[in-house]
A and B are shown apart, each in its own frame.
Chain A
Amino acid sequence: MTLQIAVRHAFKGFDLDVGIEAPPGVTVLFGPSGSGKTTLINAVAGLLQPDQGRIVADDWVLLDSDARRFLPPHRRRIGYIFQEGRLFPHLTVRQNLLYGRWFAPRDARSESLARVVEMLGIGALLDRRPGALSGGEKQRVAIGRALLSGPKLILADEPLAALDEARKAEILPYFERLRDEVSVPILYVSHSSSEVARLATTVVALKAGRVVACGPPAQVLGDVAAVGARGAASVLSARVVAHHPDGLSELVTAAGPLWLPRVAPAPGATIRVRIAAQDVILSRERPQGLSALNILSGRIIEIRLGDGPGAIVTLAMSGDRLSARITRRSVEAMALEPGQTCHAIIKSVAFAPDDVGTGQLHDAAN
């Protein structure tokens, strides 16, 4: 199912004018707060009626302001996962999970309670009430509740933003499973580039109510105009080769081997690795006697000079792209030019656990 969204809505001092297309898989709406992400997702859910718009999923019309059609939220068949969970405090976890299912048409009850409970690991919580759950547990129940309502589309509005790092690491894998195991398209709002790198099939970057970039995560995250020099990052596809006893995992990318602090997926698994542009050092010569374990070689394809002292240098390395954020001074001193071969140095310890996610990068949509 492909979702087409065109929405125009004016607020005080801010207007949203966005037209996007969300193919199957996870489409991440990415941008700073105030960029219109939540407004957009609420328009899809029917919780906000925009001044003008048309929202269509295949041939199913959710909103068409020209035809004066506005489907109320309860008839949209949408599983909405909110930032704060929004579990019903007067119902048990089991009753919360089954709430939406009760209203769903019979033929839409494809997910069984047992399967969802098993997938989210919430079997022990069923008879508790939301007040007695931790933040991470609440969010898992919220995911299950949305799934069990038999949705045609899942919306998630910064579902991890209210959680601490440990809880985020607990929940993110469930969204990866959702992407890989559930056939429903997902629209996911986030301002975190590591969530984008791990989850996205498609990224839509928003800024001040406009789309500034749209495409696969590696492309959008490397786009300085869309994410800013500080947020620029690369996403590489890698295969896990082995876990070594010294606590490192050996991966292989198209550009060469990569050593990371121990990752969770088993050897053989294909994973995504996000590398922040500011964690990458460039060298014209292949460096010797260096503590950094990762040296990947590539050809310079682009040098973008920023307004400030920085520059983004992008290397192509057999299909993948890697960006490095260095100073303009270094670009001049090293006489870097497109076409040159260059070596990228990345410290293994620069990788945070949430930089590594499961799932294929290039053909995740298929």
Chain B
Amino acid sequence: MDTLLPVHDRGGPAQPLLLASGLRKHFPVPGGLLGRSGKVVRAVDDLSLSIAKGETLGVVGESGCGKSTVARLLVRLIRPDRGTVVLDGDPVDEPHGITVNELRRQVQMVFQDSFASLNPRLTIIETLAFAPKAHGVSTAEARQRSRDLLAKVGLEPGTFADRYPHELSGGQRQRVNIARALALQPRLVILDEAVSALDKSVEAQVLNMLVDLKTELGLTYLFISHDLNVVQYLSDRVLVMYLGKIVEIGAVDAIYGNPRHPYTRALLSALPSMDPRKRTKEAPIQGDPPNPIDPPSGCRFRTRCPFAEDVCARAEPALTDTGAQAVACHMSVPGSGHSKAA
């Protein structure tokens, strides 16, 4: 096979591009006898989400919330303990569905720019040609494609093809990371803190480019970031995670304009003020994000929540639809037993 065959849309616009149900991933904590200590890091617990074709779904959360684990589960770099992933109607890694390799042709990931996101021993063009060659494309064709990709991400092929990663700036490396993700012509691109390590002025350039590429290539994005401003700018819908669970999900204007979950509200008020006359007077919540090794019983946020009551320790709130968004909080569920519930 000389060229990559394009993958066709199968379900039409109404079918979600990606549907994840009940994903669970626990990591054993090393230590103790025989390398097992009995404790687990409950990174992701019973998580379900759907991504519509052509949308940008933003994922926000602080350290330990599990958003990077979700990204790796969706690309199958890690196998979930439980749960299913369905790509455009085809279940993944199941007898009647598509294989993991076929999933990888359609779902690709852009990593954060770190010194180890590109192989330091390979030239840029060798890095970009690697994936197509692994899928059977001839070397000559793969190299030509790589040059086209470089041009598409704004890096002049003649100059950059034979350079090494250490000779590029952070912004340039990130463009290469994006080009690498596009090499197999995927339909869904997962961006895991893809602009977080960049300077603000470079970040703006790269964001503009991401918007252009999405329109030009008909991509769908899952945009993971801790930067609430960038997520608001880029996303159509936003999902807020805390300790391995989704606490709120909805259209971007609903989440930012009328946040229902106490954690979402705290996150938004923790943003530094841009007005020196209206500085932040008090921190919205105290303490650090807790450890996912022993999450609190019931609602995981209750230890830092100003509105926590007994029911919050007893029962875990389910993600409930409240019109513009879905919230996992007893206060938003009528009849839950919380004093503030309708």
Does chain A bind chain B? no
